[in-house]
Chains A and B, each alone.
Chain A
């Protein structure tokens, strides 16, 4: 057990009635790592994210953040520690303007901004706050859309907006749940480039359905299947694992390769 573990799952299981979505998963994420989690649909990847970030409580096992047990902490408390996520279906506020989407995340950890009096009565659209929001938008390259209604954005731009919101929360770990899902080819390249930029400063876990898209990006790859962690380690080596090849490409591919 290394001490540079930032996020750790110990024997984590989640059952929904009789269905076991995640079964006895042990997972360690180290500081500065860029890790990928792949697996077929219904493998339990998103459920695993939901357990780590506090959307669900695990049926069994525990979650640790830098050695501290956070299993019982709510989502917002984990965010305060620096565990930040995005959602598989892009999750921004369509009824707000783009810049308003950033106000809450920009203010959350800003000095003095959360004092009750200021939070309830200060202007949300002050120059100071808007500048900070614009800077966050700049970082993901959509500052020109600041005053647009969010509902008019393309899916890719919404994805960038969601990433900007997450980055404004000063994450220690960022969990991206299929950030490339639903994007066009051009958008995929752009968002991947953004993710590559982000992972220089933040420990990152990324769920992806298609291996090829992230295999160059991640320094470590885990494969989930039917709620279990099937393989974990160096991407190239993981992909050569016969068990992984069997679940991912089916028996035929393995037979053909051998």
Chain B
């Protein structure tokens, strides 16, 4: 591939992403592909904190779950409009981020990971037990949405198309954030937060902003999930599932938007289809992780990109 073709692809990346998911949608079932799309949004939200700011969270299912329950509760108590549900999910995610963030972002390393986990456990408990009158406890609750402007959200293709547009919007948002001074600031905080303070920046404030963006987008993904599934159960807020998004980041390569997407899709393919062939598929996932750590530490995406760049260079030479 010529470098010019590559740079052209890069410039039209949103179209390429849309095309890839459309092909996936044709090959796989549409509802599953929608699931892939939504999971990718969640991975992008996670990667902003983990990849770019260098903060590993073990409790991000809380924010996904808050969005999921907010969307379901909005359908039951507010309005059947799915856009209202998504707005509710986004706002609740941001609110939870704003309330918990000031405590959480003060910490780093293991402490950051575990304090998120602790809050996630509390959230899980509230969904299952404490607020079960509202959430339906273990059984969860259904959520049905009305058509908007003639688009019936009961139609899987409508949900797919809508989710895909949302993903593209989030990719665009993340690209802008990463390319901005804020993006440089996050990467600097990842490397040496104290130094950033001595450049005159109140790092606490910016970490909080990044955290709230991450929780809000994660909750938005949670809301979309419910529109896709039409029911919510505590599994959407189960801290045990947080490992999925970490795996996705590692597989694709952290601190890279395309890496997050690659990781999201590859992880979903493994976790959705491998169980059909291998009963204890998680073991295989462990092996994948081992190979990644030892062979492709920078993630699949960077490996592939380097491969393409090298073959392109060879072609130019020959």
Contacting residue for B197 out of A74, A121, A123, CB 8 A? A74
Q: Which chain B residues lie closer than 8 Å to A96 at the CB level? A: 184, 187-188, 191
Is B196 in contact with A104, judged by CB distance below 8 angstroms?
Answer: yes
Nearest neighbor of A82 in chain B, beta-carbon distance = B200
Q: Is the CB of B192 within 8 A of A91?
A: yes
Tell me whether A124 and B179 are in contact in the complex, defined as CB-CB below 8 angstroms, given that A91-B192, A93-B188, A94-B191 are known contacts: yes
| Residue ranges of B at the interface with A (Cβ–Cβ < 8 Å) | 176-177, 179-185, 187-188, 190-192, 194-203, 209
Find the A residue at minimum CB distance from B198.
A75
Contacts of B191 in A (CB 8 A): 93-96
Question: Which residue on B lies nearest to A121, using beta carbons?
Answer: B176
Interface of chain B: mostly helix, strand, loop or mixed: helix
| Cα separation A84 to B197 with both chains bound (whole Å) | 11
B192 touches A76 (CB 8 A): no
Contacts A55-B194, A91-B195, A93-B187; is A121 near B180 (CB within 8 Å)? yes
Residue of A nearest to B177 (CB): A120
Say whether A79 contacts B198, CB under 8 Å: yes
- Determine the chain B residues whose CB is within 8 A of the CB of A91 once the complex forms: 192, 195, 198
Contact between chains at B181 and A124 (CB < 8 Å): yes
Task: Answer whether A104 and B185 are a contact pair too, CB < 8 Å, given A76-B203, A123-B180, A124-B179.
Answer: yes
Contact count band on A:
35 or more
Interface string of A76-113 (1 = CB under 8 A from B): 11011000110100011111100010011101110001
B-side contacts of A84, CB under 8 Å: 198
Residue of B nearest to A103 (CB): B184
B202 touches A119 (CB 8 A): no
Q: Does A13 contact B (CB under 8 A)?
A: no
Partner of A75, one of B177, B188, B197: B197
Are A93 and B195 in contact (CB-based, < 8 A)? yes
B203 contact set on A, CB distance < 8 A: 76
Residue interface mask A168-185, B partner, CB < 8 A = 1: 010000000000000000
Q: Is the CB of B187 within 8 A of A104?
A: no
Q: How far is the CB of B259 from chain A (nearest CB, A)?
A: 16
- Contact indicator A76/B188 (Cβ below 8 Å): no
Given A53, A80, A122, A165, which contacts B180 in the complex, CB threshold below 8 Å? Answer: A122
For the complex, give the distance between the alpha carbons of A183 and B184 in Å: 28
Task: Determine the chain A residues whose CB is within 8 A of the CB of B177 once the complex forms.
Answer: 120-121
User: With A74-B197, A108-B199, A108-B201 as given contacts, are A124 and B192 in contact (CB-CB < 8 Å)?
Assistant: no
